[in-house]
Amino acid sequence: MTSLVNFMIQDERIGIMTLNRPKQANSLSAAMLEEINQIIQEIKHDESIRCLLITGAGSNVFCAGADLKERRLMTEEEAKAAVLSIQQTFTEIDSLPVPVIAVMNGHALGGGLELALACDLRIARAGARFGLPETGLAIIPGAGGTQRLPRLIGLGKAKELIFTGGSLQAEEAIQIGLIEHLSLADSLMDDAISLAKQIAKNGPIALKEAKQAIQMSLDHDLRTGLMKEYEAYVRLIDTEDRMEGLQAFQEKRTPHYRGN
């Protein structure tokens, strides 16, 4: 039986998760969400992984969001549970201790864009389109879109995209900060792996602490955030990785971090 989600590790440090329902626009079925959550648990317990890439199979769609064919057959209670399941899955991705990069190989609409928003960084194929069309279906983004989108691009633009249900191309998305990198289709994955390698070479404990400190900045005032930053720094002082970084700098060589 073909997996709905493929997972592999490249260069010993970079995890690559691929949504594998290209004929269904990589839409998120209940079975696919279950596989995603299984992989998330594997990543949490594998300290060798320093960075995670999430992409979609095929060349046209990154992820079209919820499987609406499946959703139409649900009772009201089942639909409520399905929405919560997607939201919780994306929160698990957001909470992973390693940096996560959405490699948007094609269009990302609805829950597909919300998946990308749950990642730390986004690199997209030129010509891809992104949007949250839920209001056109008489619902709202329910997997984090109303919360993560304004934090990323600001209230005004987020309201416009959600209220109109419109979409924009990757070339415009990078201008408003919705994505960080734009790439041609042929070089998208290579560019994403190159970015992941730049991240993965750094101290893994430092990456974890930096991610947590940055995310906390959204929930606290500046004074509290600065104290959280200091506490994170203090936790790094006793690590062997910090001493390795100083030693490598003095010896003018590449540091070899072990995560301890």
**Identified catalytic residue from 114, 145, 158, 209:** 114
- Pair 181, 122: CB distance under 8 Å: yes
H helix intervals, 63-110? 68-72, 76-94
**Identified catalytic residue from 35, 64, 110, 134:** 134
**Identified catalytic residue from 65, 106, 110, 111:** 111
**Per-position b or e across 176-207, b if 16+ CB within 10 A of its CB:** eebbebbbeeeebbebbbebbeebbebbbbbb
**Identified catalytic residue from 25, 64, 66, 128:** 66
111 is catalytic: yes
126 is catalytic: no
Q: What is the dihedral of CA 7, 214, 107, 43, to 10 degrees?
A: 10
Containing H/E element for 7? Answer: strand 5-10
Residue of 14, 2, 90, 86 lying closest to 49 (CA atoms) = 14
Residue 53 CA: distances (Å) to CA of 99, 128, 153, 252: 9, 18, 22, 31
76 is catalytic: no
Q: How far is CA 176 from the centre of its chain?
A: 18
Token pair for residue 104? Answer: 């948007």
Instruction: Report the alpha-carbon distance of residue 79 to residue 42 in Å, rounded.
Output: 28
240 is catalytic: no
- Pair 86, 33: CB distance under 8 Å: yes
What residues act catalytically? 66, 111, 114, 134
